[in-house]
Structure 1
Amino acid sequence: MNDKLKPLVVWHGGQVSREDRQALLGHQPLTIWFTGLSAAGKSTLAYALESELIAAGRACCVLDGDNVRHGLNRNLGFSAEDRAENIRRVAEVAHLMNDAGLIVLAAFISPFRADRELAREIIGPEQFREVFVSTSLAVCEARDPKGLYCKARSGAVPEFTGISSPYEAPENPHLALDTGLLSSAEAIAQLKGLLGLAA
């Protein structure tokens, strides 16, 4: 926060605690942070898991990288600075959603370890679960559902993760899933295990 604004902004606490909401909803609010290359399967897994959780009576929501850039982060580009701000804003939203009792499924390339570490700090280590969708560049590029890898190779898309901009893989993720090797059902079973749910 701008130092000049600090005296003007005061945090207001409510009468309902996070524990109250957790008791109401019957589950622990968590953020499952999916990271990996474009076309690795992050959003596909997040939406499939959301469907499973809703069917099981868990209140949850997907925050998808492309969708967030249509609104909240529409003013950000893909420089390292803008990527960092993109992740910071999303982490703040996830934190608020966790406070409201929701399980958040965040699907973002989030290529830099420092940005993901900041997200973990904002959300809180006790709520944050990092899932590395470790699908290889070769598989992701072969899929190329949006044609972005082709454009990146031609130079039409600058600063594209995995081609002209680096991806820093997690060193100790809570879970690693390679969608080039695992079926959707196998991956979802592992994600439900991470959440402590029966597969």
Structure 2
Amino acid sequence: MAKSTNVTWHELSLSKESRRIQNAHHSFAIWFTGLSGSGKSTIANELANSLYKNGISNYVLDGDNIRHGLNKDLGFSAEDRKENIRRIGEVAKLFIDSGQVVLTAFISPFREDRAIVRELLEEDEFIEVYVKCPIEECENRDPKGLYEKARQGIIKDFTGIDSPYEEPENPALVLETDRYSIEECAERLISYLTKRNFI
């Protein structure tokens, strides 16, 4: 991949702080990570609705949706997964700079890749949420039929089957979707954000 040359950073007339003041709330990323079928996108969208009702500007970046556009040129090799997450980290940073809350729902299986995103953002801008669910339950749900295809060898390098998932070592929250409803998980997130004075 060719690198950009002869480029200079152009300072913007409006700062991140100014946009936060206009929006009347902090801007940050909630990084949902977990196995396919664990409930990342469902929780992210439930939370998005709750935030919207409370006047919090937000946007959901969903793994599958992003691969229909921005990252449609990427596959699922370790190298492509890394690039996928790097790009999302940069997009999340843009949303944060614009004063919004960004909810990212990506398997993002590798700790190193998630750490790279964390380093892109300021300390109070990255909230890692582990959407934890036993693989057996994820397979039972299998909303897209991906586990079945992976077991049949139709899909290669599938996380949890023939590609590893590295659990977060110190997430801000762990949401166990085999034990709690989507609504309960979203309520826990709202409580966490309120206590942190993020919303």
Same fold by TM-score greater than 0.5? yes
- 1:160 alignment partner AA: F
Q: CA–CA distance in 1 between the matches of 2:125 and 2:94?
A: 12
| Candidates 89, 100, 103, aligned match of 1:102 | 100
Find the aligned partners of 1:90 and 1:69 in 2 and give their Cα distance.
Answer: 11
Structure 2 CA distance for aligned equivalents of residues 19 and 147 of structure 1: 44
TM-score, normalised on structure 1?
0.95
CA distance in 1, matches of 2:191, 2:7: 41
Do the aligned residues in 1 keep the contact of 2:46 with 2:183 (CA within 8 Å)? no
Specify which structure has the bigger relative contact order, considering alpha-carbon pairs within 8 angstroms and separated by 6 or more residues. 2
- What code does the residue aligned with 2:156 have? P
Match of 2:22 in 1: 24
Q: Give the match for residue 91 of structure 2.
A: 93
* Structure 1 counterpart of 2:169: 171
Taking structure 2 as the reference length, the TM-score comes to 0.95
SS at match of 2:32: strand
Percent identity over the alignment is 52
Aligned positions of 1:148-187 closer than 5 A: 148-187=146-185
Instruction: Give me the whole-angstrom Cα distance separating, in 2, the residues matched to 1:89 and 1:125.
Output: 19
Match status 1:190 vs 2:188: yes
Contact persistence 1:42–1:108 (CA under 8 A): yes
2:74 counterpart residue number: 76
Q: Deviations over 1:38-87 (max 9, x none)?
A: 00000000001001101100000000000000000000000000000000
Q: State the partner residue of 1:11.
A: 9
Shift of 1:15: 1.7
How many Å separate the matches in 1 of 2:184 and 2:92?
A: 26
CA contact (8 A) 1:92 1:123 kept: no
2: CA distance, partners of 1:182 / 1:102: 28
Distance 1:103 1:4 in 2: 29
Q: CA RMSD in A?
A: 1.5
Which residue of the partner structure matches residue 141 of structure 2? Answer: 143
Which stretches in structure 2 are left out of the alignment for 5+ residues? none
